[in-house]
Every structure is written in structure tokens, then in C-alpha cells.
Structure 1
């Protein structure tokens, strides 16, 4: 595929991703983040496969950059998801002085 085709696919993917994510209500952001982590895992595997078969130094550099960015995105997504789940977790009740036996 030529450079124009790759750039066109990238621009369309960015536009579609922005449109899909911007229409999600705030109550669905935690499940969406978890799905995004799964998708970034697939992207990470694809970037590793491309890096392993790269003959051109430019392709190797771009694929290694994709590996680093996908890894950062996965770790950050799990951290944000964990923090959001902690925010919504039930808080333990404190024992009142009246309840002490």
C-alpha cells in the first residue's frame, strides 16, 4: 500500500475513533476504557509483529515507537480504570460507639 493510502486510513481511523468516543455517556467510560485496553493489546501485538519482520530501519523505528506508545496507553488505561473503580466502591462503615458490645 502506498503512503497516501496509509495516511488516508489513519486519518479516517482517528476521525471515527473521536466520533465514537465523544458520543459515549459518562456512565459508560469505565467499560469503554476496559475495551480500549483490550484493543490496545491487539495493537501492541501487531506492532511487535511488524517490528519483528521489519527490514527497513524507518519501519523498525516507527513500529518500536508504536510498541512504546501502546504499552504506555495500556498501563495508563488500567491505572485510570482502577482509580475510577475505587471511586465507585462502597465505603466501609465505621463502627459507632452505640454498637460496641
Structure 2
């Protein structure tokens, strides 16, 4: 194994440990803003898939890059949809015009 592989593996393991520690310390009231920030981070995965596609030299790598970009884009869009729905639960219901006329 090369030194570059050891370095990349060490960075990966350290990011897993740091991510686990950060996520376990977040209270439940901050999960919605955290989810929104995580969706922005997933945008980096889309960019990474584009970089892989630019470096691809085989049709297998093109398919993998497409699948990576597709699933990352679905993850980002779904995450923002869920975040929007969760934040919508905190809005007050809108009063209808007929109820305002009855109160006058």
C-alpha cells in the first residue's frame, strides 16, 4: 500500500470520528438547522462526482460518476424538502377570509 492510501484512509477515519462526535452532541432542537447545513455539505458530493466524471477514462467510471451525481442531487433535493416541511410546522395557520368577515 502506498503512503497516499494510508493518508487518505487516516483522513477518512478521522472525519468519521469527528462527525460522530459532533452529531452526537447536537440537541434535538437544532436538528432542523443542522440538517439544512448538512444538505449544503452534500452539494460537495455533487461537485466531487463532476470531478470524477472529468477524470474518467472508461465507461464504467462515467456510469459511476453519473450515479454518484444523481444520488447526491436526489439527497440534496430531498433534504431541502424535508427541512422545508419541518420548518412549516412552526408557522401559524393562516386565517381564512370567511372567518375574518364573521368576526366583524
TM-score range for the pair, normalised by the shorter chain length: 0.7 to 0.9
**1:86 aligned residue:** 88
Of 88-97 and 26-35, more deviation after overlay is shown by: 88-97
**2:42 aligned residue:** 40
Relative to structure 1, the CA distance from residue 15 to residue 46 in structure 2 (aligned partners, 3 Å threshold; closer, same or farther) is same
Q: Where does the alignment leave 5 or more consecutive residues of structure 2 unmatched?
A: none
Q: TM-score, normalised by structure 1?
A: 0.73
> Once superposed, what is the RMSD of the aligned Cα atoms?
2.7
Aligned residues: 100
Cα offset for 1:77? 0.7
**2:57 aligned residue:** 55
Q: Where does the alignment leave 5 or more consecutive residues of structure 1 unmatched?
A: none
- Deviations along 1:18-43, one digit per CA (max 9) or x if unpaired, are 22122111221221112111111122
Cα offset for 1:65? 3.7
Q: TM-score, normalised by structure 2?
A: 0.72
